[in-house]
Amino acid sequence: MVRKPLICFLIVINAVSGSYDWHGGWFPYTPEAGVDNNPVATIRQNMYDPEHGVVMGVKNRQCDDAKTNLQIDWDFNPVNHTCFVLNRRQFFAPRSDIHPLHSQDYIPKAYSAPHKCMSEPINYNVIVPTFGTHRPLWAKYGEYVFLPRQRWVHNLEHGAVVMLYHPCADQNEVNFLRKLVKNCLYRHVITPYNLLSAERPLALVTWGHRLEMSKVAPEIVVDFIRKHALKGPEQTARDGQYDLMLKDHSGIVSDLKDRELCKEIVE
């Protein structure tokens, strides 16, 4: 099968602060808001971290042990990972005339994403977040039956590539994208995500960047991964602690630190 070349469009979203007559976006919230809508919960002194509010990677039942109160992020509803659309082929068919869309969130270097305990919900004001408040314990790398975004946003901070696909997306396209991602790097997360549109039911996410697609263009996918993977503000290859619904743990591609991205893929 010959794949027609696709054009990737880029949207840059600026979110910088300035004087009070600024009419653009504010980061991470407007001055009028006064406080973050995801404030860090009060925690014990031994869990305090001056940068994130809550120390990362430490299991604590009162805050986050990757097992307690998980329903606050996901109610275990199968709608999150199951397609219930009868005519999925009509609405989710891959289309060569719908080009990949690359959008970027400008994240100031001084920004530090808060960690929030499992006693409080985390909300996002965008469909596909590329940064933001997240849980102290990140996900183990690999493919999941379903993984809540409150977990994989933390993986983004560590430089991971997150592959998202709508449960109704064309299975051949999902398999193709999955194979590319798994052959590019160890530090990846793959999960269904039913908030993606029928127009572009496939997505790759890194810290500050998202690529949404109707049809997989391998050269665009590989270029995106090589340019934007491993660019999170916290560079650690240490595996996560959360593994609920993990069905395929990541394998090493080049080495544990992914020093050579997509090394076996010839463009």
pLDDT of residue 265: 81
Q: Are 152 and 191 in contact (CB under 8 A)?
A: yes
Which strands sit side by side in the sheet containing 202-206, from one edge to the other? 9-13, 101-105, 209-213, 202-206, 161-165, 188-192, 142-144, 246-249
Q: Are 148 and 73 in contact (CB under 8 A)?
A: yes
pLDDT of residue 229: 98
User: What tens digit of pLDDT does each residue of 36-91 get?
Assistant: 555 444 444 466 666 555 767 789 999 999 999 999 999 999 999 999 988 887 89
Q: Phi-psi region for residue 57, left (φ > 0), alpha (ψ -120 to 50) or beta? A: left
User: What tens digit of pLDDT does each residue of 152-167 get?
Assistant: 999 999 999 999 999 9
3-state secondary structure 154-197: HHHHCCCEEEEECCCCCHHHHHHHHHHHHCCCCCEEEEECCCCC
| 3-state secondary structure at position 102 | strand
pLDDT of residue 156: 99
| Nearest residue to 115 (alpha-carbon basis) of 129, 137, 134, 143 | 134
pLDDT of residue 243: 98
**For residues 92-114, average pLDDT:** 96
Mean pLDDT score across all residues of the chain:
88
Helix axes 171-182, 218-228, angle to 10 degrees: 40
**For residues 128-132, average pLDDT:** 98
Q: Six-digit token pair at 236? A: 């650690």
| 3-state secondary structure at position 113 | coil
**For residues 129-138, average pLDDT:** 97
Q: Which residue has the higher pLDDT, 229 or 9?
A: 229
